[in-house]
Amino acid sequence: MVGDELSQVESATTGSNPGEAWSRKGVGLELKGLERSFGATRALDGLTLSVKAGELVVFLGPSGCGKTTALRAIAGLEPLDGGRIEIEGQDISGTPTSKREMGMVFQAYSLFPNMTVAQNIAYGLKLRKFDKSKIDGRVAEMLKLVRLGEQADRYPKQLSGGQQQRVALARALAISPKVLLLDEPLSALDAKVRVQLREEIRRIQLEFGITTIFVTHDQDEALAIADRIAVLNQGNIEQFGTPDEVYLHPASPFVASFVGHVNHLRGRVISQGRASVFGVEVSSDRFDRYSVGEELEVLVRPESISISRSENSNATVSAVGFMGSTLNVMAATDDGTLVRAAITFREGEMIRGGDRVRLNIEGGVLFATVAKG
């Protein structure tokens, strides 16, 4: 799947491929039992992960889950209390940041304000003592790559936020790093620019075939850009898988709630593998291990809820969000539960606030746990 995308991008770009000249083919990255504590808080609690060569892995999680700490540890900006980081099979845990050959893009404002765009991109190359002609050539290529050739002599403060981040990306890639590290690079940008730039990052990443770690707390961003997503929680990995795996088969209720929307509903087991949820009978193997009469919390995706107009209605629509091809419906069931449903919209079948409808659970149950309280 990744290969297909790659060849598409390559055929789309005309002329020379800027990555070709000096890109190393991506390298594998191994994180083995990373540990890091801040006082009593364990920011990394034995985090272990294997990133394949040329892969884009997203670290996704709420704030404080350790995703940024993990990224900074890979860059060498955060010391580790334990564990190893390996690149191409070599332990780099003791290597200082400046020798790690990692390209890093920060949240914002990381360009050197005293240097022009071109000087910023040339910085890492100058430190490597390249010839002036070689530096100029590479800077020009990088500027072309991020489409900022016109801005070469501008200073960072004369650029928009999105342009600044593109320069930061060009600067990080100019040194042809082994691994590209992106620390919430889009979080300070407007929604529209954010989507444009994430597509641009993905295009460039595939073009270079560079192993990339992308940190974000935005699940849409993660699902859109990743080859694989590592969902982090409390310093460890809850699930590591492709976007569809993580979305369709979340490994834990935490992942289910964090990636995509989910309804937390009350249910009661009525027979083996069957439960009643807001008066609707649902079958699922998720109920198998609970005994009859037990109260459960049942996690259901909005798109697993169906809405129909039938005689025996069980809910009243409270709000409808029109999203073009889908409708986001909030409905209150007769027993007082608020349910969120996402349904495909067909013209002439508009649902409006106040409508009486029949809700069913048809798409399956993600999780069922014993209800608290």
Partner 1 sequence: MATITTSLQGSLQGSSEKSVKAVHGRVLGVGRRYRTVVLVLTALFFLVPVVASLRYSVVGNNNSISFSSYGAIFSDPQFFSSLFTSFKIAIGTVAITVFLVTPTVVWARLRRPDLMSALESVALLPLIVPSVVVTLGILSAFASLPNIIMGSPVILALEYVVLALPYTFRSIDAGAGAIDIRTLVEASRSLGGGWIATLMRVIIPNLKSGILSAVFLSTAFVFGEFAVASLMSFSTFPVWLVQVGQDRASESVALSVVALLLTWGGLVAVSIAGLRSTRRRSAVIEDELFAFGEQL
Select from 110, 163, 211, 304 the one that contacts partner 1 (CB under 8 A). Answer: 110
Contacts of 337 (CB under 8 A, 6+ apart): 265, 266, 278
Query: To the nearest whole angstrom, how small is the minimum distance from the Cβ of residue 147 to partner 1?
Result: 22
* Cβ neighbourhood burial of 215 (10 Å; 0-12, 13-18, 19+): buried
Dihedral sign, Cα of residue 23, residue 101, residue 182, residue 27: positive
**CB-nearer residue toward partner 1: 97 or 308:** 97
Instruction: Give the single-character DSSP code of 157.
Output: G
**CB-nearer residue toward partner 1: 163 or 284:** 163
Q: What is the CA radius of gyration of the chain?
A: 25
Which strands, in side-by-side order, build the sheet including 211-216? 102-105, 179-183, 211-216, 56-60, 228-233, 236-241
**CB-nearer residue toward partner 1: 201 or 359:** 201
Contacts of 145 (CB under 8 A, 6+ apart): 18, 170, 173, 204
Does the protein bind partner 1 through residue 22 (CB under 8 A)? no
Query: To the nearest whole angstrom, how small is the minimum distance from the Cβ of residue 248 to partner 1?
Result: 36
Does the protein bind partner 1 through residue 308 (CB under 8 A)? no
Dihedral sign, Cα of residue 341, residue 346, residue 350, residue 355: negative
Does the protein bind partner 1 through residue 323 (CB under 8 A)? no
Which strands, in side-by-side order, build the sheet including 82-87? 41-51, 29-38, 82-87, 90-91
Strand partners, 216: 60
| CA–CA gap between residue 132 and residue 124 (Å, rounded) | 13
Query: To the nearest whole angstrom, how small is the minimum distance from the Cβ of residue 204 to partner 1?
Result: 18
Does the protein bind partner 1 through residue 127 (CB under 8 A)? yes
> Which span sits near partner 1 by CB under 8 A: 58-66, 110-118, 262-270, 352-360?
110-118
**CB-nearer residue toward partner 1: 170 or 305:** 170
Does the protein bind partner 1 through residue 102 (CB under 8 A)? yes
Q: Report how far apart the first and last C-alpha atoms of the chain are (Å, whole number).
A: 45
Query: To the nearest whole angstrom, how small is the minimum distance from the Cβ of residue 168 to partner 1?
Result: 8
| CA–CA gap between residue 151 and residue 319 (Å, rounded) | 47
Does the protein bind partner 1 through residue 112 (CB under 8 A)? yes
Query: To the nearest whole angstrom, how small is the minimum distance from the Cβ of residue 30 to partner 1?
Result: 20
**CB-nearer residue toward partner 1: 168 or 206:** 168
Select from 66, 124, 235, 302 the one that contacts partner 1 (CB under 8 A). Answer: 124
**CB-nearer residue toward partner 1: 110 or 151:** 110
**Where in 142-201 is the site for partner 1 (CB under 8 A)?**
168, 171-172, 175, 181
Does the protein bind partner 1 through residue 128 (CB under 8 A)? yes
**CB-nearer residue toward partner 1: 97 or 369:** 97
Degrees to nearest 5, angle at CA 354 with 353 and 359: 90
**Torsion-angle region of residue 223: left (phi > 0), alpha (psi -120 to 50) or beta?**
alpha
Does the protein bind partner 1 through residue 98 (CB under 8 A)? yes
Q: Report helix, strand and coil shares of the chain as percent, to nearest 5.
A: 30, 30, 40
Does the protein bind partner 1 through residue 11 (CB under 8 A)? no
Size of the site for partner 1 (CB under 8 A): 28
> Which span sits near partner 1 by CB under 8 A: 10-18, 38-46, 95-103, 299-307?
95-103
**CB-nearer residue toward partner 1: 143 or 329:** 143
Does the protein bind partner 1 through residue 41 (CB under 8 A)? no
Query: To the nearest whole angstrom, how small is the minimum distance from the Cβ of residue 63 to partner 1?
Result: 18
Query: To the nearest whole angstrom, how small is the minimum distance from the Cβ of residue 132 to partner 1?
Result: 11
Which strands, in side-by-side order, build the sheet including 326-333? 305-308, 356-361, 315-322, 326-333, 338-344
**Where in 46-85 is the site for partner 1 (CB under 8 A)?**
75-77
Does the protein bind partner 1 through residue 31 (CB under 8 A)? no
List residues binding partner 1 (CB under 8 A).
75-77, 96-104, 106, 109-114, 123-124, 127-128, 168, 171-172, 175, 181
